Chains A and B, each alone.
Chain A
């Protein structure tokens, strides 16, 4: 199966490969080169300088932005997993099979509103006169409206809202692939419900969890809209700094350097999760 077959194989792969090379690898290379350039006054000077990176790690507010991004992303990932798993479980094992697709669709539908408009809707929901405060006041849990909008809590809530949906999908996809006998077998062999879950089901669903978690990490750490609208600029994340560098100072080199650093974090996350991330299991 050598010669002509291999060539034909390459022929099939070529279009996708060329596209990726031209529109991903090359721009990425240009950006990496840009991160090594400097800005003199308002002039761009190509070169080989690590000034931008030095500045990133030296300037407190830039480093802080990276930390903020990491903290928020990790919080969002953990909370989303904890909230999504039960929901995925319920849909996979408690909802009658013919309603399962509908249940999933219902979970996805709200995300067919515009992302930006939805984020502003969250801002209103969390505001002092918004639904949440009004309800809490009405049932007497609090006496004064809580400060929820324009805080990290708001940013995390906005993110969790989206990623719970995403994780529910990936975990559900994993759960339905499991043969139902495994759990039954474990119980028959004397395990309690909890043990069956912890030692049988959970490990088998780890790929689904880790895939979803990885996607969450990537999308969350690079997102500009949610922190911008819901965070109140009370603390800045990496993407916000990047946009500021682009918008105010047209400082492409620094923006590029920051982007590369964020990418580095994602690569670390990938390496950490790679044990469970298998492309063919997607």
Chain B
């Protein structure tokens, strides 16, 4: 009995030792992405066309990604998906490679979505917007008065106590708090923090839970909560088919627009292939697949993707309202390192409230 045990253990160890060779081939592309890029429907067409493998790794927050990249060796990573608002940070740190702007269909993008201020530096393009959407109010139309949802403060007021979930990401939610107070997210300073804190505390007092995507989605779907602050099409679109009463809106005061960009890393040893990948993602077909990817939906940056989307899909995304929505939504707050730390502190205080 012990002999066979030993034999099995040795075989197992030998198998492990044989692993690294099999995993990576030189022609692979290594991408650090968000979960919507892991949909096979999005990746497989590219893999088949170029005969390579795309290795995907999801990450939590921009800070983690940047720390990861700074600790990696050259050639470890080729492609990065990053919050639009964080591209300057990555570009300044020298992490991003220049993209050939003339080969990108920027002219077809929705107005204001290309975000040249963030994605360009010194005339060079370092990233391109691939998807955008809104952090606003998601709600169950069957249980909540839709008119109430047009006013931010009512959405998290005592009227809906214990029926609210707050999305666990400090930037957009604090942005919403700022907008409700009539401030611009771009103009936030440390002086605004006390007032924001009060609003956050109010939200927390009336909320059932603060959760990330899965918890918020589950809570809304099971009826644990009826409103999600910071939700949007990205939260409810995947559920829309089975539960059409779950919907979203942009209140009168406005909402926060999230946007994600994709870029190539400077230390990549596969730059040409990586650039091809980026071009695929912003092409109309790639955009349509990305927009309706299994993890979360969002608006494709490239308007031409509309030709590859069905009418029903466009309805869920509120395609026809986009021009208006883009006007009324503001970008994420973009604090400097110090204010960022202070904002995170306020958020953690709110969680412990």
Q: Which residues of A contact B (CB under 8 A)?
A: 41-42, 59-62, 64-65, 120, 123-124, 127-129, 147, 149-150, 229, 232-236, 241, 244, 246-250, 252
Task: Knowing A60-B352, A247-B64, A249-B341, say if A233 contacts B209 (CB, 8 Å).
Answer: yes
| Cβ contacts under 8 Å, A59 to chain B | 345
Question: With an 8 A cutoff between CB atoms, is B162 at the interface?
Answer: yes
Secondary structure type dominating chain B contacts: helix
Question: Across the interface, which residues of A come within 8 angstroms of B61, CB to CB?
Answer: 247-248
B341→A234 contact, CB < 8 A: no
Interface residues of B (CB under 8 A from A): 60-61, 63-64, 66-67, 162, 168, 170, 208-211, 214-215, 218-219, 222-224, 337-338, 341, 344-345, 348-349, 351-352
- Known interface pairs A127-B222, A127-B224, A150-B209; A232-B344 also in contact (CB < 8 Å): no
Instruction: Note all chain A residues with C-beta closer than 8 A to B352.
Output: 60-61, 64-65, 235-236
Smallest Cβ distance from B168 to chain A, in angstroms?
6
Contact of A247 among B63, B208, B348 (CB under 8 A): B63
Taking CB atoms, residues of chain B closer than 8 Å to A128 are 222-224
Contact of A246 among B64, B210, B337 (CB under 8 A): B64
Q: Are B209 and A129 in contact (CB under 8 A)?
A: no
- Out of B63, B168, B215, B341, name the residue touching A229 (CB < 8 Å): B215
| With contact pairs A61-B348, A129-B222, A149-B224 given, residues A232 and B210 touching in the complex (Cβ less than 8 Å) | yes
Tell me the dominant secondary structure on chain A's binding face.
loop
- Complex CA gap A123/B218 in Å reads 9
Q: How far is the CA of A64 from the CA of B352 in the complex (A)?
A: 8
User: What is the minimal beta-carbon distance from A187 to any residue of chain B, in angstroms?
Assistant: 42
Q: Of A41, A235, A247, which one neighbours B351 at CB under 8 angstroms?
A: A235
Q: Who on chain A is nearest to B350 by CB?
A: A61
User: Contact at B348–A236, with CB atoms within 8 Å?
Assistant: yes
Do A233 and B168 form a contact, CB below 8 Å, given A147-B208, A249-B63?
yes
Bound Cα distance A147, B165 (Å): 14
CA distance A59 to B156 in the complex (A): 27
On whether A61 and B222 interact (CB within 8 A), knowing A229-B215, A249-B344, the answer reads no
Identity of the chain B residue whose Cβ is nearest the Cβ of A231 in the assembled complex:
B209
User: What distance in Å separates the Cβ of A8 from its nearest Cβ neighbour in chain B?
Assistant: 22
B95 to chain A, nearest CB (A): 13
Smallest CB gap from A246: residue in B: B64
In the docked arrangement, what's the CA distance between A247 and B348, Å? 13
Q: Which of B210, B218, B223 meets A234, CB within 8 Å?
A: B210
